[in-house]
Structure 1
Amino acid sequence: MTSVGAGVRVIGSGAATAPQCLTNEDLSQMVDTSDEWIWTRTGIGQRQLCTEETSLAMLAAEAGRQALSAAQLDPQALDLIILATSTPDDLFGSAGQVQQLLGAERAVAFDLTAACSGFVFALTTAAQFIRTGAYRNILVIGADVLSRWVDWSDRSTCVLFGDGAGAVLLQASDETDNLLAFDLYTNGSLNSCLNLPYQGQPKTLIADKQVTQGNYQPISMNGREVYRFAVARVPEVIEKVLFQAQCQTSDIDWLILHQANQRIMDAVGERLKIPAERILSNLAHYGNTSAASIPLALDEAVRQGKIKPGDLLALSGFGAGLSWGAALLRWG
């Protein structure tokens, strides 16, 4: 057990990408679209997709394995694994599978579902277990296989999504607390703007008893409303966490937004007056990977030497729910 009041620090990161690359040119052979149409509206050039042999748990475990390696921590030292995903292999949860694949038998493991906000929600949830003294080493993974739930005949959505996983390893610290602030929100009245709904058919059990049985339907999205929501709420929540931490926009070394649409990221940067060179984007290569997008971009920047110990990161996720949130994190 850690001491109550322990701080949070990040000691490693990792990522895993799906094996297949689907380009805009490939999509133009499937639906009425073109590379130019996709680029100008989304900023996406390609996306990585899982094969039949690649599971969500496998992707998540590989990202976790890389984070453990970067931190030089044995899986047996893990106390908790939080898997942020909306696309589990098993509707009862996939975190247990990840625990087994990692050989982390001591760790409690559970799924957390908050769609594209999932990684930020999971990160801040993990921090509370550390701060209360419950756990010392926590692996936070964001992973999604959205290709399972895309209508590949709908050009408004099929051009957007990809598969992937990213992870960070949090550890308790008696010397510092590098999660400086966070703020989370949900507006359920806008739920219909972006969802993946269950649709059932009635099934009669006996004369006067009936249930429904069915399946989940492909992703549906009102792109215009989601854009308006994100451009309004994301800068606002980032300003709130900066205020909580008594920091200024100019203090941010790297802004890491959910990689949904390049136009959204550009608009948020403009409103916050953060120059483009301080906004991390790998959307062009991976598309929208939901809960995986922030840790994927983060890990890539760490391994490229962009993010260095002591850098101040502003993270913000937004999406289905509708949900959104931000966290201010000192790297290291």
Structure 2
Amino acid sequence: METGIASVVAGIGACLPPRIVHNADYPSLGLDVSDEWIRTRTGIERRHWVTPGTSSGDLAVTAARAALRSADEPEVDLVILTTTTPDHHSPATAPWVAAQLGLGLVPAFDMAAACAGFVYGMAAADSWIKAGGAERVLVVASDTLSTVTDPTDQATAVVFADGAGAVVLRRGLQGEAGAVRAIRLGSDGTQQRLAIIHAGGSRNPGPTATAPPADRSLRMQGKDMFAHAVRRMTESSRSLLESVGWPVESVGAFIGHQANQRILDKVADLVGFGADARFGNIREVGNTSSASIPLVMDGLIARQAVTPGTRTLLTAFGGGAVWGSVALSWPKIEDYE
């Protein structure tokens, strides 16, 4: 067994709100699009949306409790919450989540990296553990993009959804199942407008409620987003595999951010992943932003669909623009509920 220090995935949890919106529901919601139009362009058939009064923090707490339970860890040393839709502009949501979990006075902070938030959160936790600053870190990715989506904008309303996923990382060894082998991140701020909410920040601080829908809702340049997402996830995946010395055919599990099925297929084809190594859930849950990768992982662990120790590649791209990839061995989680 390799003896180098590593962060190891020791627990996982997820939360999807109970409200399900099917493609066929959109005409009644005021958007004249067909089920076939949505499926052929996105691969999505249904998605989960929160009901009024349910926040990203609420979903995060439920997913985090499940992750702590599966890791058999009542305590952690740090909480990282990745989200584009925090409960408030200020204060951060992570301390409230930690308090709801009964974790005491542990450090907790939010991280904003759009749809790449989970891989950025994993990178921060991995560094914290390897530096000796923590033995156990809870990383929670939670987004409620339905709350910032214009229901009349077909470019976003049919794509984005709500959900949360969480993992517990602990200090361990490189040779263990679940060990993070390497991470690669990147960003390009010149592409800020690929996906953006114009109103509400310090650059446009007017009352969000009175801003026009086009400014207070998430707007996305779909065609350009597609091209940049494919390019960056492909480059990041190839580079990371080369750096760890993993031939693409040796990777048994590939999980990309569940943005659009055509993007996922294109990246997998370009990198060279076979059909048996590709895993996703976009058809059932839509694009859940930073929560998408841990939601896929949670479902696979629940079904025991991947053998512990399997070489695994995670990759994501989000507005900002930000992207990243994680190489790890598939975790062995026995206490999943």
TM-score, structure 2 normalization: 0.91
Equivalent of residue 87 in structure 1, options 61, 85, 91: 85
- Pairs within 5 Å for 1:42-57: 42-57=42-57
The offset of 1:212, in angstroms, is 4.7
Q: Report what 2:211 is aligned to.
A: none
- Residues 250 and 90 of structure 1: CA distance in aligned 2, closer, same or farther (over 3 Å): same
Q: Any conservation in 1 of the 2:199–2:206 contact (CA below 8 Å)?
A: no
The offset of 1:106, in angstroms, is 4.0
Say which is worse superposed, 214-223 or 140-149, in terms of deviation. Answer: 214-223
Say which is worse superposed, 213-222 or 311-320, in terms of deviation. Answer: 213-222
Q: Report what 1:250 is aligned to.
A: 249
Q: Report what 2:181 is aligned to.
A: 180
SS of the aligned residue for 2:73 comes to: coil
Amino acid at match of 2:15: A
Q: For each residue in 1:293-322, what CA deviation from the matched residue of structure 2 results, as whole angstroms up to 9, or x when unmatched? A: 010011111111112321121001101001
Q: Report what 2:313 is aligned to.
A: 314
Quick one: distance in 2 between partners of 1:212 and 1:102? 33
The offset of 1:134, in angstroms, is 0.5
SS of the aligned residue for 1:152 comes to: coil
Amino acid at match of 1:87: T
The offset of 1:180, in angstroms, is 1.1
The offset of 1:53, in angstroms, is 3.1
Quick one: distance in 2 between partners of 1:64 and 1:308? 24
- Residues 212 and 79 of structure 1: CA distance in aligned 2, closer, same or farther (over 3 Å): closer
Quick one: distance in 2 between partners of 1:276 and 1:224? 25
Q: Report what 1:208 is aligned to.
A: none
Quick one: distance in 2 between partners of 1:86 and 1:287? 16
More strand by share: 1
Quick one: distance in 2 between partners of 1:317 and 1:147? 20
- Pairs within 5 Å for 1:6-155: 6-29=5-28, 30-74=30-74, 77-92=75-90, 93-155=92-154
Quick one: distance in 1 between partners of 2:202 and 2:124? 36
Consecutive unaligned residues of structure 2, counting only runs of 5 or more, are 209-214, 332-337
Rg (Cα) greater in structure: 1
Amino acid at match of 2:330: W
Q: Percent identity?
A: 36
Cα RMSD (Å) of the superposition? 1.8
SS of the aligned residue for 1:31 comes to: coil
SS of the aligned residue for 1:213 comes to: coil
The offset of 1:331, in angstroms, is 2.2
Equivalent of residue 213 in structure 1, options 195, 206, 209: 206
TM-score, structure 1 normalization: 0.92
SS of the aligned residue for 2:33 comes to: coil
Amino acid at match of 2:182: A
Q: For each residue in 1:149-168, what CA deviation from the matched residue of structure 2 results, as whole angstroms up to 9, or x when unmatched? A: 00001112100010000011
Amino acid at match of 1:88: P
Quick one: distance in 1 between partners of 2:311 and 2:201? 47
- Residues 182 and 200 of structure 1: CA distance in aligned 2, closer, same or farther (over 3 Å): closer
Consecutive unaligned residues of structure 1, counting only runs of 5 or more, are 203-210
Quick one: distance in 2 between partners of 1:312 and 1:27? 40
